[in-house]
């Protein structure tokens, strides 16, 4: 006995509305276990293997590789042994999942399957439901149609043909277009009770529209003896001259869809520009002593310390002195929320585009711990194995654009954070050192901040402290 369950794309992370199918991991007819990955998808934040909470036989897949799938759209249907579609029936063991698999991605769980039953307005006569036939043996479900009772009814509606209703067709729903599903949801039409007019019974948009029209209330006829109002005849008017609207021509050139990582970056940067009144300041700093300190640390043995880790440690010390900048703004309540922990994001360029991995509780980590975590997250970003949770929840971002060989920039704040530090390349330049002109290793630091959380004095004090630590790393010892 089996029942067909539909597994939809879950919410894979905060702010995500869909994903792109990269690779199917199962075929129709395959037997899958509970929580077995069935498809690999690419979200705006990471590559994710999506586990199916149902165990059984795959009866259908929805979407080709490369297709965009919105959250909530069906991915696969699985024939689950035992139980019934609404969770009733005998308990399921082995690979069945009425009790829930326990494997939870962000935003969804499998402990309580939700009912997906919708129906058209009641039609004359009772309807019966049956379960879907699948490979593997007979099925058990709701009662079958009573002897002598027709298996379907036809609703009468004025004004044209009406769609024929069926009772729970075998196999998955014969619907491909998400627009048809949405139209059915908006009008409370149960697709399982419709017989499609398309090829092989495919349910089309016209089928749903006819079902909606069939259930619409008929116009009320006027009571006998009630005079029917007659509209006055329209006055004769001269025909209006017709004007030909200019035809807008689309610009020529290659069109590249904004989707995946590129689309997420576009949305986030545009939102930052719309909502955050940012301002920037910058300063040049002599990084010669910082590089010398790093060389001495790495020569002493142990894990290597990166320049980015040194800058991250300087940022956590500076945020401890200027906590206004480790904050976010809630305009709904008109409050500035100062955050207790520093979750430090750092920009990383990958083949998939720009991503910002987040080092959790960076203020609690040692310099070696920061260096190891940054290296681990960077490698995961390059291989596309970062989890969505590792790309969200940052409170401050460090952007090392010096790796591109440029000196300066005015970074855009990573919404909803309040500030971002940009670091240019470190290169030899003429510099006045101890009253004499010398060639020193100079870096430009740029700082962009949300002017709602602080004024220029706080931002300038933060940037000056960072520059002092770059020029004299011993300043950090006062905070250790």
As to burial, measured by CB atoms within 10 angstroms (0-12 exposed, 13-18 middle, 19+ buried), residue 119 is: middle
Report CA torsion sign: 292, 298, 301, 303.
positive
Structure tokens at 342: 């520093």
From 152, 187, 343, 451, active-site residue: 451
Task: Tell me the two tokens of residue 62.
Answer: 């929805």
Distance of alpha carbon 14 from alpha carbon 106, whole angstroms:
8
DSSP state for residue 111 in the 8-state scheme: S
Q: Are 473 and 293 in contact (CB under 8 A)?
A: yes
Distances, alpha carbon 222 to alpha carbons 230, 341, 439, 454, in Å: 14, 71, 97, 69
Active site residue 187: no
Q: Whole-angstrom distance between the N-terminal and C-terminal Cα of the chain? A: 66
Q: For residues 179 and 205, is the Cβ–Cβ distance under 8 A?
A: yes
Q: Give the C-alpha separation, 90 to 167, whole Å.
A: 23
Question: How many CB atoms neighbour CB 125 within 10 A?
Answer: 9
What gap in Å lies between CA 325 and CA 319, rounded to an integer? 7
Q: What CA–CA distance (Å, rounded) separates 269 from 412? A: 7
- Please tell me whether residue 161 adopts helix, strand or coil conformation: coil
Q: DSSP string spanning 60-71? A: EE-S-TT-EEET
Query: Which structure tokens are listed for 65?
Result: 């590789």
Rounded Cα gap, residues 434 and 291, in angstroms:
18
Instruction: Provide the token pair at 376.
Output: 């681990």
Q: In angstroms, how far apart are the furthest CA atoms of the chain?
A: 109
SS3 142: coil
Per this entry, what is the length of the chain? 480
Catalytic annotation, residues: 451
């Amino acid at each position: 006995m089996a029942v067909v369950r539909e597994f939809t794309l879950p919410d894979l992370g905060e702010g995500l509305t869909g994903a792109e199918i990269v690779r199917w991991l199962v075929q129709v007819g395959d037997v899958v276990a509970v929580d077995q990955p069935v498809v690999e998808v690419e979200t705006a934040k990471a590559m994710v293997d999506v586990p199916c909470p149902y165990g059984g036989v795959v009866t259908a897949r929805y979407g080709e590789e490369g297709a965009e799938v919105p959250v909530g759209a069906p991915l696969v249907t699985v024939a689950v042994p035992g139980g019934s579609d609404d969770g009733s029936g005998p308990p399921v063991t082995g690979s069945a999942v009425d009790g829930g698999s326990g494997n939870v991605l962000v935003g969804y769980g499998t402990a309580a399957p939700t009912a997906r039953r919708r129906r058209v307005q009641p039609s004359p006569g009772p309807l019966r439901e049956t379960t879907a036939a699948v490979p593997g043996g007979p099925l058990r479900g709701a009662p079958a149609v009573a002897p002598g009772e027709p298996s379907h009814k036809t609703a009468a509606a004025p004004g044209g043909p009406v769609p024929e209703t069926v009772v729970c067709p075998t196999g998955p729903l014969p619907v491909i277009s998400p627009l048809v599903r949405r139209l059915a949801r908006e009008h409370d039409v149960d697709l399982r009770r419709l017989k499609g007019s398309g090829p092989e019974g495919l349910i089309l948009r016209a089928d749903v529209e006819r079902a909606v029209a069939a259930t619409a209330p008929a116009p009320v006829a006027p009571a006998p003896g009630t005079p029917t109002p007659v509209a006055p005849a329209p006055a004769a008017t001269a025909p209006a001259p017709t004007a030909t609207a200019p035809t807008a021509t689309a610009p020529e050139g290659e069109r590249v869809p904004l989707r995946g990582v590129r689309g997420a970056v576009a949305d986030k940067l545009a939102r930052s520009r719309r909502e955050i009144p940012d301002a920037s300041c910058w300063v040049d700093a002599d990084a010669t002593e910082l590089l010398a300190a790093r060389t001495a640390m790495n020569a002493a043995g142990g894990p290597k310390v990166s320049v980015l880790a040194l800058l991250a440690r300087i940022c956590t010390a500076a945020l401890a002195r200027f906590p206004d900048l480790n904050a976010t703004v809630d305009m709904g309540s008109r409050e500035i929320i100062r955050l207790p922990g520093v979750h430090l994001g750092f920009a990383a360029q990958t083949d998939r585009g720009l991503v910002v991995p987040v080092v959790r509780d960076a203020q609690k980590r040692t310099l070696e711990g920061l260096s190891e975590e940054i290296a681990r997250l960077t490698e995961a970003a390059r291989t596309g194995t970062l989890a969505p949770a590792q790309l969200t929840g940052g409170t401050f971002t460090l952007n090392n654009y010096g790796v591109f060989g440029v000196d300066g920039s005015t970074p855009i704040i990573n919404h909803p954070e309040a500030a971002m530090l940009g670091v240019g390349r470190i290169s030899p330049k003429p510099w006045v050192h101890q009253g004499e002109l010398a060639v020193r290793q100079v870096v430009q630091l740029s700082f962009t901040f949300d002017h709602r959380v602080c004024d220029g004095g706080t931002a300038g004090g933060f940037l000056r402290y960072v520059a002092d630590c770059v020029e004299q790393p011993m300043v950090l010892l006062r905070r250790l």
